[in-house]
Amino acid sequence: MLKVAVIGGGSTYTPELINGFLARLDKFPVNELWLMDIDKERLDIVGGFAQRMVAAKGSPFKVILTTDQRAAVKDADYVTTQLRVGHMEARKRDEYLGLRHGLIGQETTGVGGMGKALRTIPVILKIAKDMQELAKPGAMLVNFTNPAGLVTQALSQYASETPAVGVCNVPITAKMKIIEGLEQATGQKIDAERAELKTLGLNHLSWHRGFTIDGEDVWPQVIQAYIEKLKTEEHPEWDSRTIEVLRMMPNYYLQYFYHTDKKLKEQEKWPPSRAEEVIEVEKELLRDYSDPNLNEPPAGLMKRGGAYYSTVATQLLNAHYNDLGETHVVNIKNNGAVKEWPAEWVLEMPSLVKKSGITPIAADPLPASCFGLIAAIKAYELLTVEAAVHGDRDAAYQALLVHPIGPKADKVQKVLDDMLETHREHLPQFFK
């Protein structure tokens, strides 16, 4: 029997995940899909809709709803995590924490990302511990919970006995946009499975630097077309000179580092913040999901973001289960793949997915202009892991101190105190 558990099954993303499993039943024959969430009301709405979706396709597998994490994990082959400690209200608090102090408050970057990590890491580590005790031997944890790279770093250090990998939809979104551009330029259809994106860095701090089709390098054409496109746009995402020099496409989250002032100005226009926008989108989605006649995801799901989420999730599980040896961009322990960088760092990079495990593919390091930023953020991540696991306020202080878009030294304590107090109910490790 093939069992998959989804922790955070009450997420509005779950119906997209259901579609992904339904589309791959011939290759990934799941028998039981357990949706676990601590919010029973929300789980009943989302889970009920998921059950109707599966019933409409002839009930090829069971969808089981539970608020019991251990029951969900028991005998599971795969456990995916898509949870949000404190719900969307906590994200809103992260955003306005940043705004209060004149800092970036985005949910995965800067003080907002740190607040989310401190709340999330202990919860994810508990899931990994439950898996060791209750799941099938070798069961894999696939983490989608943000900040995905930082959470995976914690898993690598404090739950290394549980096979785990972090996943994000940014690489596949970049891949599909590149394919779209090539198709427009050549007039030829390109199968996504024939193409591979070469990217390296940390989650939400990576640079796309290569692209192949059937093994042939087409990056020179891709990057040159991208530069020309930037030069013609009235409000380009990046200044073309930066891209000309780097010859790489920055992950769009690098806007928070390369154009911090611009992002801070955008924050000043709040409300609504992104969390407040999503709260309204989710209210609409949950109303739709409650409709007993609905058995297909509504169009409003696209407003939620997370394009290609189901593709990333189910393709990875399918590749692992069927020993396909496919290349997927994931967050994984470096372990010597980039030999110039520390082996214990979790990186976002192309990796080989086989039944025996997921292995990062050897890669050259990024240039010094990128490595400097990566090294600072990795120092922040490592310190944040220690702070989250041990309730270590000094480690938390140092994490804020080293962060490139964190507070100035004389403001660190004020921001930290505010962060911990803002999320006190979800940070018991700091208030013993």
Catalytic positions:
253
Q: Are 147 and 177 in contact (CB under 8 A)?
A: no
Cα of first residue to Cα of last residue in the chain, in angstroms, is 43
Q: Are 240 and 231 in contact (CB under 8 A)?
A: yes
Q: Which amino acid is at 184?
A: Q
SS3 348: strand
What is the distance between the alpha carbons of residues 10 and 44, in angstroms, rounded to a whole number? Answer: 8
Q: What is the DSSP letter of 109?
A: S
For 265, residues 6+ apart whose C-beta sits below 8 A from its C-beta are: none
Tokens of 191: 């199968």
Per the listing, tokens 């889970």 go with 47
Residue among 188, 178, 258, 250 at smallest CA distance from 218: 178
Per the listing, tokens 């998921």 go with 50
- Cα 139 to its chain centre, rounded Å, is 20
What is the distance between the alpha carbons of residues 18 and 7, in angstroms, rounded to a whole number? Answer: 14
DSSP-assigned beta bridge partners for residue 140 = 78
As separate numbers, helices (DSSP H) first and strands (DSSP E) second, the chain gives 16, 13
What is the distance between the alpha carbons of residues 92 and 113, in angstroms, rounded to a whole number? Answer: 12
Per the listing, tokens 């007039």 go with 187
